[in-house]
Amino acid sequence: MKDELIEAHSSGRLMLFVGAGVSANLGLPNWNELIGRIAEELDYDPKIFATYGTPLALAEFYKKKMGGLGALRSWMDRAWHNAGTDITKSEIHRLIVHGNFPKIYTTNYDRWLEFAHDSYGVKYDKIKSVADLVRLIEGRRQIIKLHGDFDLEDSIVLDETSYFKRLDFDTPLDIKLRADVLGSSVLFIGYSLNDINIRLLFYRLTEMWGSSSLATARPKSYVFTHRPNPVAKEVLSHWGIEMIVSEDDDPGKALTSFLQQLVGEANRA
């Protein structure tokens, strides 16, 4: 475990970025199931429909045909929030809640981070749009839904149009992100290093620092992965992001072990 990472966490200067891999440990539907659902609603054969474009393009097609994401968003909300899921049984979520992360950014739509905080009695402010920025309580943990939230359909980044708008990185939440990263280290968990969304985010964060007069004072940022990747390691190092690699092949066990070590060692520091 890196001393700088432990120090950033224990001192409250470590921002957490939570990706789909964290929710995947709860058995939530994946992109293939989502596209299958879209195909069924539009009366297409799922296997054939999946060959017609990227998931973003297929979601865009659905949105145009149906006049919005309404029915699909409702299904996603139900499917992603199975009443039989006991969030207190997720050690990963427990460790996130009890970690010293003043701000948690997530690209997940689901509410399991919020449910976990509710279950353990930890107060937080959820930020999904600019309207939420005026109601923040000083010193309270923030959960920022960078790609939207099921509570607000217009905030969800799912189809091509919403994704392309997201590439501009000029929304109020992006301005907040730029301000937040200037004074904190960032830890990414639950992301695939091949995901273009996260690679774009890595690049944008590097640009944010590069345009700052404080670039030489940039805190270290980290991404945790359970699989070695020398190509990603080399590229990310030039972007100021250090890879932390587990020796455990199981992604869930690897992340659990890493968070146990980080939260435990930082609390003892």
Q: Which amino acid is at 19?
A: G
Whether residues 191 and 65 fall in one domain: no
Whether residues 129 and 193 fall in one domain: yes
Of 183, 86, 179, nearest to 127 by C-alpha is: 179
Q: What is the pLDDT of residues 32-82, one digit of tens each?
A: 899 999 999 999 999 999 999 999 999 999 999 999 988 999 999 999 998
Question: Which of 11, 46, 80 is the last residue in one of the domains?
Answer: 80
> Could you tell me the two tokens for 51?
């060959």
pLDDT at residue 212 in the model: 59
Of 14, 82, 26, 86, nearest to 252 by C-alpha is: 26
Question: Which of 58, 80, 102 is the last residue in one of the domains?
Answer: 80
Least confident of 19-23, 60-64, 203-207: 203-207
Instruction: Please report, rounded to a whole number, the percentage of residues in the chain having pLDDT higher than 90.
Output: 52
- pTM over 0.75? The answer is yes
Give the integer Cα–Cα distance in Å for 186 and 101.
Answer: 10
> Please, which residues bridge with residue 241 across strands?
221
CB 131 within 8 A of CB 93: no
Whether residues 134 and 12 fall in one domain: yes
Host domain of residue 137:
3-26+87-268
Q: Which amino acid is at 221?
A: S
- Identify the band that residue 216 occupies on the pLDDT scale cut at 50, 70 and 90: low
Please tell me the total count of domains within the chain. 2
- Identify the band that residue 211 occupies on the pLDDT scale cut at 50, 70 and 90: low
Question: CA–CA distance from 53 to each of 59, 160, 194 (Å)?
Answer: 10, 11, 19
Whether residues 101 and 208 fall in one domain: yes
CB 252 within 8 A of CB 22: no
- Identify the band that residue 268 occupies on the pLDDT scale cut at 50, 70 and 90: very low
Give the integer Cα–Cα distance in Å for 49 and 80.
Answer: 22
| Mean pLDDT on 102-122 | 95
Of 155, 204, 152, 149, nearest to 181 by C-alpha is: 204
